[in-house]
Amino acid sequence: MKRASILLSAIGVVLGLVFSLAAPSDGQITETTTADSTSRSQIHLVSVSPWIGPAAVFRAEVDLRDVAGATGVTFTLHQAVNDRAALDRAIAGEQFGATLLRGEAASSGGASGLAVIDIPVSDTWPAPENGVVLTTSGVLPLAIVAVGANGDELATIVTHLIRLPDPDSRTGPLAIGLVVEQWERPSIALDGGTFLAPTDADHLLTTLRTLDEFARVPLSTLPSASTLIDLNLTRPEFDQASLSSLRPAPTRQLLASTYAPIAVSSWLSDGLVAETENQFTAGTESLIRQLGATPDNRIAVITPSIDSTALALLHNRGTRAVIVPSDQLLPKIDSARTPTPTLGFDVRTPNGDRMQAIATDSTVTARLQVDGGVDGSFDAVAAGQNAVADLALIGLAATGDARGLAIVVPGSTPTATLRVLLSALADRDGAGAGAPGSALLSPVTLDDLFAITDVTTTFDAKGRVPVVQSFRSEEPTSMGTYPASLRSTRRSIDGVLSMVPESPYLAGAAVHRALASGDQSLTADQRSGVLISADRALRSITGEVVMTPQQVVTLTSRSGKVPLSIENRLQVPVHVHVTLRSAKLDFPEGSEFDQMLAPGTTTRVDAVVTTRATGAFPLDVSVSTADDSVPVTTARFTVRSTAVSGIGLIISIGAGLFLLVWWIRHFRSSRRAAGLIGTTGPDGSDSDHAQPTPAVAGDYDPFDAQNPGDP
């Protein structure tokens, strides 16, 4: 864990992020050309007034250029809808209330194919010219139709005129805790690593610009550390100052999360407890390095992969409040008929610990991504206004207690849709369209959301306490071989970090890929491929430490030194562990030792050895990481010994003495046999008791055995 933290610090140093900032917008929402904008055969809503006060002018601008044969635009304003089911039918063009106003759009006076609808609104009679009288607040569907030269209806789109309560309304606004995610689906590079596709990188950059445009709108950000790192790979030239919209401020709360969005319950079910903890820790530390600020882990956003076990883990990590999607609450809510709870409640961990909770409306979140026109097509601005209309209905119904609701904006939300939502929250009293009304919504950070929102209570033995609500989660699924592969890669990373402790950034790619491999949007094969690329990145580091194999070393004495030459091709110090093995050598100073290798050079290390025998035999040298967990390089030496060992010397001397004694005895025996050595005993008798034979003439020649000069 500590080594990963050191590495993440190094990764943060090399990050540089550059964007340009757009100019602030006013109360009118305008769609810009972005990577996520679509081009389909339909009417496009270009801009729309988010809401208006009791006396104002509602405006909507449409683009007809994708409607072949369109020559004009008509519109119909219908009676207000009262609930979500009626809103859904109106959005789909299936059912409308009574008609309040019909009219034709005027040309925008600029680009061809654009038309503008202006509807003056008053709260008193008589009605304004080409306008309508609205005496009460409400959400009124507006059907916009492209027509041909003969009056045929060619295409239709539905948006909404939202009339705010009167300025003197005593009903307080609904607190909205907006949570904007910064996550993009990773793409897989040829080397197996992750990166952001250019269109996804552009979308993220535009989202950050949009957040900066509305810097005064309170909200909470939920960035994925993995996405921000991948952004650097695709757009390495962008300035880190562009991330200012994510940093904590009076109107910004930075939330903590895992490094990559993982299926937490499946990870825990497969035994990846330490790895899950590492995801949270790495996510926090990476954001600290990239943003220069510590994300808040006291509040967490529940996802379908958070079960009771994962909830306990969050509590143990310091989380005390959670945002729960309404479609996960139990008993299940019919979102079309039953409003999402706007009062707080509690959830309980398996250990009985209580955590504060507030719901996030899952239907509104879905509208930000998939809501479209009557033909099922998607229009980014219309989707944003549909979400605002839905929130307005909730706000109109949320009377009485101080109420609050969270809204999660997924990372895949089109930036034009996000801009509509933020513009509505920035101009919450409708002053941008005329006389202001009373705001229905009040944007706040999550901290303030929990402080403002009242809680549903009940009674127990201790008195009044918050109601405990249950929520459902996805069943954990087996992750196959991924857990074992991930553990192996993590061990290798730790090993390489022990090898280059002064330069942990060298392993940055491997660490990032190992953490990013857990992204739940990846397939099993993609996860495996990302881990393989992480291992390959590690081998590119260890492969820079080499030894020359098959060297022959000759020793002329019993003890000697074997020179080991280890080359470090890296330009940083390297710490390794060296192991010596041989069946015929002893190592007086130890068969294992640690060694530091200087940058970019060859280090010679003399290994002291003692031979056990003469001859030639192998010496195997293994070099591994400093913690001896990852092999780095190996070499085999042939050691040739010509020295005689102590035991051999003793045996040789003994053999020589034996041969000497044997030779002397053999020589004496041979002399006796030739009669050259007498056999007389000490008393003059033959040792074998034989009688002496008298000498006769001729037996002895006086000159035998005499040398000249003898007597």
Cis peptide bond prior to 331, omega within 30° of 0: yes
Q: Which residues contact 463 (CB under 8 A, 6 or more apart)?
A: none
Report pTM.
Answer: 0.83
Length of the chain counted residue by residue: 711
Contact in structure between 175 and 452 (CB atoms under 8 Å):
yes
What is the pLDDT, as a whole number, of residue 33? 36
Q: State the DSSP string of 29-51.
A: ------TT----SS-EEEEE-S-
Residue 593 has pLDDT above 60, yes or no: yes
Q: State the DSSP string of 327-359.
A: GGEESPP-TTTSPPP-SBEEEE-TT--EEEEEE
pLDDT in tens, 522-539: 999 999 999 999 999 999
Q: Which residue has the higher pLDDT, 10 or 294?
A: 294
Average pLDDT of the segment spanning 380-402: 93
What is the pLDDT, as a whole number, of residue 109? 64
Instruction: Give Cα separations from 35 to 45, 385, 415, 659, 689 (angstroms).
Output: 17, 20, 9, 99, 131
What SS3 state is found at 96?
coil
Q: How far apart are CA 407 and CA 346, in angstroms?
A: 18
CB atoms within 10 A of CB 172: 18
What SS3 state is found at 556?
coil
Ranges 97-101, 234-238, 309-313: which has the least confidence: 234-238
Residue 711 has pLDDT above 70, yes or no: no
What SS3 state is found at 594?
strand
What would the two tokens of residue 216 be? Answer: 């005064």
What is the pLDDT, as a whole number, of residue 697? 38
Ranges 100-114, 128-142, 351-365, 426-440: which has the least confidence: 100-114
Q: Which residues contact 521 (CB under 8 A, 6 or more apart)?
A: 185, 186, 261
Ranges 247-261, 376-390, 621-635: which has the least confidence: 376-390
Helix, strand, coil percentages for the chain (3-state, nearest 5): 30, 30, 40
Ranges 143-147, 169-173, 524-528, 657-661: which has the least confidence: 657-661
Q: Which residues contact 326 (CB under 8 A, 6 or more apart)?
A: 333, 335, 340, 341, 359, 360, 361, 362, 363
Q: State the DSSP string of 499-555.
A: H-TT-GGGGHHHHHHHHHTT-TTS-HHHHHHHHHHHHHHHHHHHTTEEE--SEEEEE
Residue 30 has pLDDT above 70, yes or no: no
Give the whole-number percent of the chain exceeding pLDDT 70: 86
pLDDT in tens, 643-679: 655 566 577 677 777 777 777 777 777 766 666 545 4
Q: How far apart are CA 136 and CA 80, in angstroms?
A: 10
pLDDT in tens, 310-348: 999 999 999 999 999 999 999 998 877 788 999 999 999
Q: How far apart are CA 412 and CA 403, in angstroms?
A: 28
Average pLDDT of the segment spanning 422-427: 98
What is the pLDDT, as a whole number, of residue 27? 37
Residue 22 has pLDDT above 50, yes or no: no
Bridge partners of residue 540, in order along the sequence:
none
Q: Which residue has the higher pLDDT, 24 or 95?
A: 95
Average pLDDT of the segment spanning 622-649: 85
**Residue 376 burial by CB count (10 A; 0-12/13-18/19+): exposed, middle or buried?**
exposed
Bridge partners of residue 576, in order along the sequence:
595, 625
What is the pLDDT, as a whole number, of residue 24? 30
What SS3 state is found at 388?
helix
Q: How far apart are CA 386 and CA 162, in angstroms?
A: 10
Q: Which residue has the higher pLDDT, 531 or 372?
A: 531
pLDDT in tens, 264-307: 999 999 999 999 999 999 999 999 999 999 999 999 999 999 99
pLDDT in tens, 489-498: 999 999 999 9
Ranges 415-429, 591-605, 613-627, 675-689: which has the least confidence: 675-689
What would the two tokens of residue 443 be? Answer: 């944007």
CB atoms within 10 A of CB 654: 10
Contact in structure between 621 and 553 (CB atoms under 8 Å):
no
The mean predicted confidence, pLDDT, of the chain is: 88
pLDDT in tens, 468-477: 999 999 999 9
Average pLDDT of the segment spanning 506-529: 98
How far apart are the two ends of the chain, measured CA to CA in Å? 108
Contact in structure between 231 and 201 (CB atoms under 8 Å):
yes
Residue 424 has pLDDT above 60, yes or no: yes
Instruction: For residue 188, report the phi and psi dihedrals to the nearest 5 degrees.
Output: -105, 125
Give the whole-number percent of the chain exceeding pLDDT 90: 74
pLDDT tier for residue 558 given thresholds of 50, 70 and 90: confident
In degrees, rounded to 5, the angle at the alpha carbon of residue 658 between the alpha carbons of residues 653 and 662 is 150
